Amino acid sequence: MRRNLIIALLFVASSAHAEDAELVAGSVDAPEQDDIGDQAIGADIGVAGGGRVTPGGLRIAGHYLYQMSQSDWFDGTASFTYGGGDAQCFRDRMDAFQCGHGFTDGSSVEISANVRRVFAPRGSFHPFARAGIGVALVRFSGDDLSGLAFPLHGGGGVRARVAPGIAVVAQADLQLGLGMFGRGLGAEPQLGMTVTAGAEFRLR
């Protein structure tokens, strides 16, 4: 009888310990999952800087995030750049076509595929790094100049939850690539930077 009682007490104690461990694990993991989620959408706005034949101006972007591993998310992005349209191209003494557009001139539409690596949180903030490749249609209307660009992206930012399933995001991005342009300009380097801020909404 005493042996059965001891066995029953040990069983109850072990069950209570297991439940406590699950609660502790849940309290650690739940905020992480609730903050990022398996899928999310987002939108941001900011400023893109370019020059020569790299477009710059107001940048508006939309994102779709899909979790690939514990720390990595696919970040599919569609972005739009709206800048000035003054003519800045000319032919030099050798009759070569040259362009010298400003920091916020031109326009573009781009689709890019990126990977976001999220690091350990710093308090309520989640820092992350981001890298990818895109394809963009670039246009400088004042010079009737268009081209197709293939920029590489690299940068990072920080994400902070403001409500369940909702977070604000700030990030900076560098672009380096190559563009192919008409009017005899040919291949030209693409070099720019972007700073944006926005919000993301958890789907799952």
In terms of residue numbers, what domain contains 17?
1-36
pLDDT at 3 exceeding the cut of 60: no
pTM, two decimals, is: 0.79
Banded model confidence at residue 97, pLDDT cuts 50, 70, 90:
confident
In this prediction, residues 16-31 reach a mean pLDDT of 41
Q: Which two tokens stand for residue 187?
A: 């291949």
In this prediction, residues 182-188 reach a mean pLDDT of 92
Number of structural domains the chain divides into: 2
Banded model confidence at residue 96, pLDDT cuts 50, 70, 90:
confident
**Which tens digits make up the pLDDT trace of 61-95?**
999 999 999 999 999 999 999 999 888 898 888 87
Please indicate, yes or no, whether residues 5 and 93 belong to a single structural domain of this protein: no
Please indicate, yes or no, whether residues 72 and 62 belong to a single structural domain of this protein: yes
Within 10 A of 65 (CB to CB), how many other CB atoms are there? Answer: 23
In this prediction, residues 178-191 reach a mean pLDDT of 94
3-state secondary structure of 135: strand
3-state secondary structure of 203: coil
Within 10 A of 87 (CB to CB), how many other CB atoms are there? Answer: 14
Please indicate, yes or no, whether residues 68 and 166 belong to a single structural domain of this protein: yes
Please indicate, yes or no, whether residues 23 and 58 belong to a single structural domain of this protein: no
Please indicate, yes or no, whether residues 125 and 84 belong to a single structural domain of this protein: yes
Q: Over the chain, what is the mean pLDDT?
A: 86
Please indicate, yes or no, whether residues 27 and 41 belong to a single structural domain of this protein: no
In this prediction, residues 142-149 reach a mean pLDDT of 95
